[in-house]
Amino acid sequence: EQKHQRHYLVNGELRAWNGATTEVISTISSTEDYQPTILGSIPDMGEKEALDALDAALKAYDQGQGLWPTMKVKDRIECMETFVKKMEAKREEVVKLLMWEIGKSKPDSYKEFDRTVEYIYDTIEDYKQLDRDSAKFQKHDGVYAHIRRGPLGVVLCLGPYNYPLNETFALLIPAIIMGNTTIFKPAKHGVLLIAPLLEAFQSSFPKGVVNILFGRGRAVAAPIMQTGKVDVLALIGNSKSANALQEQHPKSNRLRLVLGLEAKNPAIVLPDANMDLTVNEVIAGTTSFNGQRCTALKVVYVHEEVKDEFFEKYTKAIDALKFGNPWEDGVKLTPLPEPGKPDYIQELIDDAIAKGAKIMNEKGGQRFDNYIWPAVLYPVTKDMRVYQEEQFGPVVPVLSFKDISEPLDDMAESNYGQQVSLFGKDVYTLSPLIDTLANLVCRVNLNSSCQRGPDVYPFTGRKDSAQATLSVHDALRSFSIRTFVAFKDN
Ligand code: G3H
């Protein structure tokens, strides 16, 4: 059954859309012979709707004096609790769309939904604590201070297709609860699944606090930025889009950025690593959701002494994974939502082969439907595109090393600095290495693959990987500013 979304949310109203629309296509085939499925359509909005949404968000904020930024904390919490309860009732509908729209496996789709609900409840609890803390007075050198946290203004929020619910809400929810007003446009894939939640947003928050638009980023987000009236750009995605939007803002030095961007997280396999455990974790890190995670392992460094054992076990394990539709039992590899992705991955493979790499696993690079089997490439060199680009898909570049300085030098030169996975046993080797790695990235995973969760842990990156920190705790701070009232003993 197709879904044709014909409403959007502006100024507390679910407005009807009668203009042009765009089809939402799933690369999951509903027939035996591979044919993409038309899931429905969404409004193709433009400048007028975008500026109406901005106007509503500005009015609801009203230079800090609007209803929302000045509302009592307990009332804001009540709105958020109402919302999350309504959202929970939509679990089955949203999970089904997660599977169809972006091809996420059934367990991972449920996990994304449940994790998001938990994120909201944890945010509410953390916000209550923040409020309790700000009720306390401080006194230094005869000056009393009542320090609290206030909102920043209007937040433009854009989420990614790989976590259209969890990561978008990891931006939107803390922004809202801190008293900001928001405009949100879902990603191109994973867009219909927002539709079942429109009514929940509309009925839970005062008008103008949450505005939801559909359409292309260029048509919707750019005109909003061009007004110079957005205070925060909150985006998880690629730096090209983030930079393009920042450039649209006439006073971009005033713009606060909350960005989660690209990464090229390495795995480093030391000679004494427990190889079975390492292979399990590297499989998870390189193949979960087909490598379409910013936290995926995107390059593997294996010590010369153990590379044969690594390849033997890793290539067998990768070829034993099951491909299928997201709802089938035991499926690990699923159709890719972006129609052009297999061709792009193929280009990376061809480039690497032309420069001397080989595909190490039997099934690597096999193509069918909108899929390409994960290809393990070795030996990879730095002139290859698969080393230089964030592949965000099923291809794994592997390099071997003799001395640990080799991967460390590469990490120091890299434009990214999100996480690393380190596999080994000897504490005397690991301990100084962990200290060095922690100065190159923001999370060192010991004998485990990289991941964002649990969502209470800080999620950020160095260099081009992020601006600001997103965790339940940190996001509340990223979307607010400390203000205070000071007075003297007089
Ligand atoms: O795309 C990046 C995501 O934040 C990854 O989250 O590590 O939980 O899959 P995850």
pLDDT number for residue 232? 98
pLDDT, mean over the chain = 96
Chain centre distance of CA 11: 27
Angle between helices 73-88 and 106-134 (to 10 degrees): 170
The per-residue pLDDT for range 208-262, each reduced to its tens digit, is: 999 999 999 889 999 999 999 999 999 999 999 999 999 999 999 999 999 999 9
Q: How far is the CA of 164 from the centre of ligand 1 (A)?
A: 11
Q: What angle do CA 277, 282, 283 make, to 5 degrees?
A: 100
What's the rounded mean pLDDT across residues 39-68?
A: 97
Residue closest by Cα to atom 7 of ligand 1: 451
Confidence of residue 7 (pLDDT cuts 50, 70, 90): very high
Predicted confidence at residue 135, as pLDDT, reads 81
Task: Report CA(253)–ligand 1 centroid distance (Å).
Answer: 29
Distance 11 CA to ligand 1 centre (A): 32
ipTM above 0.90, yes or no: yes
Ligand 1: which of 111, 116, 167 to mutate, judged by most atoms within 8 Å of the beta carbon?
A: 167
Query: Is 451 a pocket residue for ligand 1 (Cβ < 6 Å)?
Result: yes
> What is the average per-residue pLDDT within 286-296?
98
Answer yes or no: are the C-beta atoms of 46 and 5 closer than 8 Å: no
Q: Which helix (H) or strand (E) holds 300?
A: strand 297-303
pLDDT band at 31 (very low <50, low <70, confident <90, very high): low
Q: What angle do CA 376, 381, 383 make, to 5 degrees?
A: 120
Task: Please name the residue whose Cα sits nearest to atom 6 of ligand 1.
Answer: 452
* Residue among 472, 467, 441, 468 at smallest CA distance from 457: 472
- CA–centroid distance, 323 to ligand 1, in Å, is 21
Per-residue pLDDT averaged across 116-137, rounded?
A: 94
Closest-CA residue, ligand 1 atom 4, reads: 452
| pLDDT exceeds 80 at position 267 | yes
Which string of DSSP letters, residue by residue, matches 82-123? HHHHHHHTTHHHHHHHHHHHH---HHHHHHHHHHHHHHHHHH
C-alpha 113/C-alpha 24 separation (Å) is: 21
Q: How many CA atoms lie within 13 A of 476 on its CB side?
A: 20
Nearest ligand 1 atom to alpha carbon 451: 7
- Kindly state if the Cβ of 443 falls inside 6 Å of ligand 1: no
Give the atom of ligand 1 at the shortest distance from the alpha carbon of 452.
Answer: 7
What is the distance in A from the centroid of ligand 1 to the CA of 42?
Answer: 26
Q: Which of 110, 452, 472 to mutate to test the pocket of ligand 1 (most atoms within 8 A of CB)?
A: 452
Residue 199 tokens read as 């009514």
Residue reference for tokens 């099951």:
322
- What pLDDT, on the 0 to 100 scale, is given for residue 164? 97
In short, whether 163's Cβ falls inside 6 Å of ligand 1 is yes
Going by the DSSP 8-state scheme, the letter that residue 442 receives in this structure is S
CA distance 371 to 354: 22
- The structure's pTM equals 0.96
Q: Is the CB of 293 under 6 A from ligand 1?
A: yes
Q: Across the beta sheet with 137-140, what order do the strands follow?
A: 137-140, 143-151, 480-488
pLDDT tens string 58-103: 999 999 999 999 999 999 999 999 999 999 999 999 999 999 999 9
Q: Which of 115, 125, 231 is nearest to 174 (CA)?
A: 125
Name the residue of 163, 290, 441 whose CB sits within 8 Å of the most ligand 1 atoms, as the mutation to test its pocket. 163
Residue 418 banded pLDDT, cuts 50, 70, 90? very high
What is the predicted pLDDT for the residue at 32?
Answer: 66
